[in-house]
């Protein structure tokens, strides 16, 4: 949820002859132009977990690596051949079926997530909402310089004074949000993260981090679900 300065990173790497690869899963190929980051900056490789929005069904595991550099493409082809990587034809078919609806689905996830993120900002015991389109979010200025769209994925920080068990109970109390790490499907997901375990001393956030992936359910129903689970925390 911390949008990086992609332009500066790509440019700094290129100046030093370092190839760059972007995990572009969050952008879904729609939110930003990996091969045209503005002011001449670009990444060399753009990668997608097709598992997420491109599949859209939470029922396929697949990925893609894309480049516009012919020499890199040759290297990738060779590595692909030597490693013997393959995908199942049925899985490919499922992703191909979903691709034409990617844009409308991405926009729907985005609109619903932004409404919910804005609503959550005013709810206790939510202390902070980390969504790159919110002006207070870390990296917001970088998001704004690259994107208008955003994925339906964001995090909230719950009051640090709450015991971790209450945070788990909040996640369990949600009925429409299922527990899950993967995202990009029709079902909304919730997962609590222990930032201190993940980041150690580098953690700069106060409170318990809970990540939400907004699915394609009615936004009002999701808000009502969150409202009910938050009520139990107050
Ligand atoms: C899920 C995810 C991956 C990995 O995708 P899988 O297909 O589930 O292995 C990689 N990058 C990002 C940003 C993801 O969200």
Q: What is the pLDDT of residues 83-100, one digit of tens each?
A: 999 899 999 999 999 999
Distances (CA, A) of 218 to 106, 113, 174, 203, 215: 15, 11, 15, 34, 9
Q: What percent of the chain has pLDDT over 70?
A: 100
Q: Which atom of ligand 1 is nearest to the CA of 181?
A: 1
CA 130 to chain centroid, in Å, comes to 12
- 8 Å CB contact between 208 and 161: no
Beta bridge partners of 178: 189
85 and 139 part of one domain:
no
The pLDDT mean for the chain works out to 95
- Give, for ligand 1, the residue of 23, 26, 32, 52 to mutate: max count of ligand atoms closer than 8 Å to Cβ: 52
Q: Is residue 1 part of a domain?
A: no
135 and 223 part of one domain:
yes
Distance of alpha carbon 52 from alpha carbon 218, whole angstroms: 20
Number of domains in the chain: 2
212 and 128 part of one domain:
yes
Which CATH number does the domain housing residue 29 bear? 3.40.640.10
Which residues form the domain of 67?
Answer: 6-100
- Give, for ligand 1, the residue of 46, 152, 182, 212 to mutate: max count of ligand atoms closer than 8 Å to Cβ: 182
120 and 110 part of one domain:
yes
Domain end call among 74, 100, 126: 100
109 and 224 part of one domain:
yes
Local structure of 148: helix, strand or coil: coil
Distance of alpha carbon 206 from alpha carbon 186, whole angstroms: 31
45-49 and 21-23 beta bridge pairing: parallel
pLDDT band at 196 (very low <50, low <70, confident <90, very high): confident
Q: How far is the CA of 47 from the centre of ligand 1 (A)?
A: 10
Give the residue-averaged pLDDT of 200-217. 92
Q: Is residue 139 part of a domain?
A: yes
Q: Is the CB of 61 under 6 A from ligand 1?
A: yes
Give the residue-averaged pLDDT of 104-112. 98
Residue 217, classified by CB atoms within 10 Å of its CB into exposed (0-12), middle (13-18) or buried (19+), is middle
Q: Which residue has the tokens 């997530």?
A: 113
Domain end call among 80, 100, 120: 100
Q: How far is the CA of 169 from the centre of ligand 1 (A)?
A: 27
What residue ranges in 26-62 does DSSP mark as E strands?
A: 45-49
Return the closest-CA partner of residue 167 out of 223, 221, 125: 125
At a CB cut-off of 8 Å and minimum separation 6, what does 74 contact?
A: none
ω into 125 cis (within 30 of 0)? yes
pLDDT band at 198 (very low <50, low <70, confident <90, very high): confident
């Amino acid at each position: 949820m911390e949008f990086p300065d992609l332009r500066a990173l790509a440019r700094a790497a290129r100046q030093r002859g370092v190839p760059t690869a972007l995990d572009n899963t969050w952008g879904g190929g729609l939110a930003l132009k990996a091969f045209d980051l503005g002011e001449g900056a670009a990444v060399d490789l753009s990668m997608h977990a097709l598992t997420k929005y491109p599949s859209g069904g939470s029922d396929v595991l697949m990925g893609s690596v894309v480049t516009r550099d012919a020499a890199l493409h040759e290297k990738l082809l060779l590595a692909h051949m030597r490693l013997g990587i393959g995908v199942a034809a049925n899985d490919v078919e499922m992703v191909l079926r979903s691709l034409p609806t990617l844009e409308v689905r991405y926009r729907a996830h985005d609109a619903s997530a932004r409404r919910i993120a804005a609503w959550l900002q005013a709810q206790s015991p939510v202390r902070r909402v980390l969504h790159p389109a919110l002006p207070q979010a870390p990296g917001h200025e970088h998001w704004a310089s690259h994107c208008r769209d955003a994925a339906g994925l964001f995090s909230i920080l719950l009051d640090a004074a709450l015991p971790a068990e209450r945070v788990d109970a909040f996640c369990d109390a949600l009925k429409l949000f299922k527990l899950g790490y993967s995202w990009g499907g029709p079902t909304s997901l919730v997962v609590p993260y222990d930032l201190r375990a993940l980041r150690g001393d580098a953690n700069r956030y106060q409170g318990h981090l809970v990540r939400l992936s907004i699915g394609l359910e009615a936004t009002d129903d999701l808000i009502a679900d969150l409202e009910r689970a938050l009520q139990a925390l107050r």
